[in-house]
A and B are shown apart, each in its own frame.
Chain A
Amino acid sequence: MAQQRPLSPHLMIYKPQLTSMMSITHRATGAALALGSLLVVWWIVALATGAEYYSFVQSIIASWFGQLVLFGFTVAVFYHLSNGIRHLFWDFGHNLTIEGVHRTGYMVLASTVILTALTWALVFFG
């Protein structure tokens, strides 16, 4: 019988915080982008296959489901890009304070929203 030692609190005990939620979101968007890369590969392979197959893929991309997936893809790209830059600043020793991680955290969220909005404005009005 193992000795009963105090255990660290389980993950669910903690109140969700900006820092921890943004950390796991970085990982989740990274995994999602790895999966979403299948779409990019599919699009390129379709382009290399020929006009007929390409227009078939295009029609799926243009469908509401395709657009929804693409929207999620752009959100994941811009979140992972912005937060990745935040990580690089940490690697150089910047913003490693409670104030710093919160300020840059909100900057990443704002940047994700702005870049996603700009991209889709370009799609619809560009």
Chain B
Amino acid sequence: MAGQNAELKPQQRSMQTSLGKVRGLGSARKGVSHWWMQRLTAMGMIPLVIYMVIALVTVIGDDYTTAVAWLQSPLNATAMLLLLGTGFYHASLGLQVIIEDYVSNEGRRLMAMVVVKLAMTGLAALSMFSVLSIALA
């Protein structure tokens, strides 16, 4: 360890232990990207959520034909696709932080993380494909 670090310049020497390195602990250098994407998707969703709430309130009681026609309009379909895409990404980032905070067991944390990431990806795919199948029908 010491011999390894001695060959490096002072700013390149690591405080991390060999065991920590092997187990992949410590910074994954993804923190800033996670933080930034959570804010970026949040900002993007402000107008989308307001638009969709107003739109859904007016369309949700309507019959099938009206609802389909509503989702077939390019503006509504695009807004819905953007909301679903950014929404499920935002949710996946947020749920990740909740798991990291509360699930301390490494195995369970990994399992919860896999379940959440796959579920959010699956729901995004299912809902976005459904929107496209209506809009392009």
Inter-chain contact B64/A31, CB cutoff 8 Å: no
By size class, the interface of chain B is 20 to 34
Give the complex CA separation of A62 and B62 in angstroms: 11
A-chain residues with CB within 8 Å of residue B112 when the two chains form the complex:
none
Q: Is A20 an interface residue (CB 8 A)?
A: no
Tell me if B's interface is mostly helix, strand, loop or mixed.
helix
Question: Quick check: A88 and B130 within 8 Å, CB to CB?
Answer: no
Are B87 and A81 neighbours in the complex by a CB distance under 8 Å? no
In the complex the two chains form, is B134's CB within 8 Å of A47's CB? Answer: yes
- How many contacting A-B pairs (Cβ < 8 A)? 78
Note all chain B residues with C-beta closer than 8 A to A37: 87-88, 91, 123
B8 at the interface (CB under 8 A from A): no
A24-64: contact bitstring with B at CB < 8 Å (1 yes, 0 no)?
00010011011001101101110110110011001001100
Q: Helix, strand, loop or mixed for chain A's interface?
A: helix
Count of interface residues, chain A, beta-carbon cutoff 8 Å: 33
By a beta-carbon cutoff of 8 Å, the part of chain A in contact with chain B is 27, 30-31, 33-34, 37-38, 40-41, 43-45, 47-48, 50-51, 54-55, 58, 61-62, 74, 77, 81, 84-85, 87-88, 91, 119, 122-123, 126
Apart from A34-B120, A40-B84, A88-B42: 15 A-B pairs, beta carbons within 8 A: A30-B91, A30-B98, A34-B94, A37-B91, A44-B134, A45-B126, A48-B130, A48-B134, A50-B64, A55-B64, A58-B61, A77-B53, A81-B50, A84-B42, A123-B61
